[in-house]
């Protein structure tokens, strides 16, 4: 089973869309809501996953590797489905 983590903020429509996709497909995941320390956590995510520029949410991590955001997951659903 793949280990999926998704970094979110509570007001983000793309986060909600990504979470809905994962739930609709009964995929186990761990949600990490960074809303309380958003600026600090965005910086930390950039450092952890070598993300250049502004770090957007959601950030989806599959087996320790960064997949990207909601659009990346929806363009490559097999990464999380299989």
What's the confidence (pLDDT) of residue 14?
98
Instruction: Match 């997949």 to its residue by tokens.
Output: 67
Distance CA 39, CA 20 (A): 25
Name every residue whose Cβ is closer than 8 Å to that of residue 11 and which is 6 or more positions away in sequence: 35
Q: How confident is the model at residue 11 (pLDDT cuts 50, 70, 90)?
A: very high
Instruction: Say how many domains are in the chain.
Output: 1
CA-angle at 48, arms to 70 and 2, nearest 5°: 55
Q: What is the CATH number of the domain that holds 58?
A: 3.40.30.10
Backbone angles phi, psi at 49, to 5 degrees: -115, 15
d(CA 45, CA 50): 8
Q: Which domain holds residue 9?
A: 4-81
Average pLDDT over residues 44-55: 93
pLDDT at 1: 85
């Amino acid at each position: 089973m793949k280990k999926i983590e998704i970094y979110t903020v509570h007001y983000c429509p793309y986060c909600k869309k990504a979470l809905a996709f994962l739930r609709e497909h009964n995929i186990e995941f761990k949600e990490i809501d960074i809303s309380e320390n958003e600026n600090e956590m965005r910086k930390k995510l950039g450092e952890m996953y070598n993300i250049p520029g502004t770090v957007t949410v959601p950030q989806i991590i599959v087996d320790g590797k960064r997949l990207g955001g909601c659009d990346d997951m929806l363009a490559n659903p097999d990464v999380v489905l299989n």
